[in-house]
């Protein structure tokens, strides 16, 4: 489903990612881990086309996407969330998810919210119905009229995922979805990720919570200083000497 070949990103003289080869099969839950600054979010920003690669190729379902715009990649079936929550705080929960439906409607959801004359109520109702389905899927439907900024932190994380799901992705990228959550919230998130995967969506996530990674992932890729140093099943990664050294440091290791 997703493949990169010698993917590289430089910022001036700083090499954030260096010749990373990556392959993700459809239907999997795959984690990318590594110490802070390892290049994980840079990798996400490259494959979702927020950053242009310095060199290398990116393929989604066999189609080269390294020259596409982010919205074009979204139309091909990739959606993502961000390490720092990116919602529309002054819009309500339902409206945030309605925005995610813009790919499928000629009517601009923002204009619908402004009630610009001439916009068809039928189009708005169709967007609303689908948005409510995704909110229900994520357990957020009872809060649909609340402002996004009024939700608890964990619920804001879920809302961002719901908005991503509203684009009907085949591949969902989750950037540290469990960050800032307590154990109970993390357990609930784990169940939701598995539920999303069972619905037919392939998932690639960045995560620092190793318990979650080891429990939920089919495979794990490890980055350190912008390079891939290990890849395999969770049980293979857990005791890999290079991975232990990357996390603990050479002296401690």
pLDDT digit string (tens) for 74-103?
A: 999 999 999 888 899 999 999 999 998 877
Q: Which domains does the chain have, with CATH numbers?
A: 1-77+169-253 (3.40.50.300), 87-168 (3.40.50.300)
Residue 203's DSSP bridge partners are 29, 172
Angle at 199 between CA 184 and CA 150, to 5 degrees: 45
**Count of all residues that appear for the chain in the document:** 253
pLDDT of residue 117: 55
pLDDT tops 60 at residue 248: yes
Q: How confident is the prediction for the chain on average, in pLDDT?
A: 91
Model confidence band, residue 106 (pLDDT cutoffs 50, 70, 90): low
Residue 2's DSSP bridge partners are 24, 60
From the centroid of its chain, how far is CA 233? 21
> pLDDT tens digits for 128-168?
999 999 999 999 999 999 999 999 999 999 999 999 999 99
> pLDDT tens digits for 13-41?
999 999 999 999 999 999 999 999 999 99
Report the C-alpha gap between 65 and 98 in whole angstroms: 26
Residue 147 DSSP code: B
pLDDT of residue 124: 79
pLDDT tops 80 at residue 231: yes
State the pairing for strand pair 14-24/2-11: antiparallel
> pLDDT tens digits for 174-218?
999 999 999 999 999 999 999 999 999 999 999 999 999 999 999
Quick one: which of 192, 177, 161, 173 has its CA closest to 96?
161
């Amino acid at each position: 489903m997703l493949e990169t070949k010698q993917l590289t990103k430089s910022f001036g003289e700083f090499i954030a990612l260096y010749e990373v080869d990556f392959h993700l099969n459809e239907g999997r839950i795959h984690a990318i881990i590594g110490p802070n600054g390892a290049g994980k979010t840079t990798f996400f920003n490259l494959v979702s086309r927020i950053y242009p690669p310095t060199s290398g190729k990116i393929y989604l379902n066999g189609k080269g996407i390294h020259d596409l715009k982010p919205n074009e990649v979204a139309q091909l079936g990739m959606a993502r969330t961000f390490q720092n929550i990116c919602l529309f705080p002054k819009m309500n929960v339902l409206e945030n998810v309605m925005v995610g439906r813009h790919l499928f409607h000629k009517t601009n959801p923002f204009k619908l919210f402004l009630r610009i004359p001439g916009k068809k109520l039928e189009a708005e109702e169709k967007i609303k119905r689908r948005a409510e389905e995704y909110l229900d899927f994520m357990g957020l439907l009872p809060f649909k009229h609340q402002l996004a900024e009024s939700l608890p932190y964990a619920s804001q994380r879920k809302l961002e995922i719901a908005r991503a799901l509203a684009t009907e992705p085949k591949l969902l990228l989750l950037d540290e979805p469990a960050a800032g959550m307590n154990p109970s919230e993390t357990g609930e998130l784990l169940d939701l990720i598995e539920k999303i995967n069972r619905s037919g969506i392939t998932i690639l996530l960045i995560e620092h919570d190793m318990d979650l990674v080891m429990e939920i992932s089919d495979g794990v890729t490890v980055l350190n200083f912008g390079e891939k140093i290990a890849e395999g099943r969770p049980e293979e990664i857990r005791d890999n000497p290079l991975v232990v050294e990357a996390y603990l440091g050479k002296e401690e290791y």
